[in-house]
Amino acid sequence: MSGYSLAIHGGAGTILKSKMTPEKEAAYREGLSTALEAGEAVLRKGGSAMDAVEAAVCALEDEPLFNSGRGAVYTSAGAQEMDACVMDGRDRSAGAVAGIFGPKNPIRLARAVMERTPHVLLIGPRALELAQEAGLEFGDRDYFFDQKRWDALQKTMQMRESGEEDDDPARRHG
């Protein structure tokens, strides 16, 4: 067999070069490098692809620059709802959660769904109970709060109230 491979993403969209300062770009690159290294460290030691993608995504979820985990955006109601999924190419087993808030790393809960239940996708209170059963770490609203995400919500809501046209496809990105 040949060697390992790993690829990660931290989202896509209208990333205006005019608004990208050298400091911001350096921070994004650092965040990506940290996540890639977290996943590659697993593969370098002979670990599994599943462990590697979990490690990489956890690092991205811990970095507020990216829209997941600690950097999750807000709904129109001012709440945060997170979705996550894992899939294992060996047997097409999969686990997912949707609309949850609490676990610091939703991707770990998605994996718990795959490994601890006969189901694929869980939502609601039972998903959070599973997170507790699996011993996953929880965060509160202060842990997940991010000023720039909150400000983005206010700006978007103001645009809607004023009827301002918005054809930026990036606003529809997850």
Nearer to other proteins, 133 or 150 (CB): 150
Euclidean distance between CA atoms 55 and 43, whole angstroms: 10
Nearer to other proteins, 12 or 125 (CB): 12
Nearer to other proteins, 30 or 133 (CB): 30
Name the residue among 63, 77, 30 with its Cα closest to residue 146. Answer: 63
CB of 50 to other proteins, least distance (A): 4
Q: Are 105 and 58 in contact (CB under 8 A)?
A: yes
CB of 127 to other proteins, least distance (A): 11
Nearer to other proteins, 117 or 156 (CB): 156
CB of 42 to other proteins, least distance (A): 8
DSSP assignment, residue 103? Answer: B
CB of 56 to other proteins, least distance (A): 4
Span between the terminal Cα atoms of the chain, in Å: 35
* 35 sits in which H/E element: helix 22-44
